[in-house]
């Protein structure tokens, strides 16, 4: 299946690893060939803590890989630090509003240049391909299911907490 827009909300844990419910999606991104996301647009919201050296590793990798696979970055990735509650709340509210604006103009911006490079706001990553791909194959069927689930979770969060 093809999607017009992917809204990705994720974090990292341990040594920059993806959450267990996100691992198959990231693995599928690593093993994908060509530009399967051509014509798609995406945005990434990352949660984490600067207490860890691998802060935002999984969101950064996801943003990088989606772009490399043909997706257009419709917003700069936003990185929320749990240690900065007020700044994080403000950044989350702005990101949510920006996502809504982008959805209203998604058709107009399809095919336009990326909003920015994946390295914005930071490019520090720990490559996890060996950890994810070395342990077995990734079934491509999980990709659309996880993408839809993540997008649904993001929309539900927005409407529950931001529309009050």
| pLDDT tens for each residue of 75-115 | 999 999 988 888 888 999 999 999 988 877 766 666 677 87
DSSP secondary structure string, 44-55? EEEEE-TTSTTT
Pull the structure tokens for residue 90: 């403000």
Least confident stretch, 3-17, 19-33, 75-89, 124-138: 124-138
Of 114, 138, 110, the residue nearest 18 (C-alpha) = 138
Q: What is the pLDDT of residue 142?
A: 41
Tell me which residue has tokens 């058709």: 107
Pull the structure tokens for residue 113: 């240049």
CA 128 to chain centre: 15
Tell me which residue has tokens 């996100």: 22
């Amino acid at each position: 299946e093809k999607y017009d827009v992917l809204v990705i909300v994720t974090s990292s844990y341990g040594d920059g690893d993806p959450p267990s419910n996100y691992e198959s999606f990231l693995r599928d991104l690593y093993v994908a060939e060509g530009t399967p996301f051509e014509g798609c647009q995406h945005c990434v919201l990352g949660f984490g803590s600067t207490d860890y050296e691998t802060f935002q590793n999984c969101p950064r990798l996801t943003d990088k890989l989606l772009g490399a696979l043909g997706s257009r970055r419709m917003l700069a990735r936003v990185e929320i630090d749990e240690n900065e509650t007020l700044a994080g709340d403000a950044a989350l509210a702005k990101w949510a509003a920006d996502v809504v604006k982008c959805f209203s103009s998604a058709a107009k911006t399809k095919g336009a240049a990326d909003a920015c490079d994946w390295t914005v706001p930071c490019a520090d990553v720990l490559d996890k391909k060996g950890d994810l791909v070395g342990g077995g194959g990734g079934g491509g069927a999980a990709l659309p299911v996880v993408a839809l689930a993540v997008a649904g979770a993001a929309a539900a969060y927005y409407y529950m907490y931001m529309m009050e």
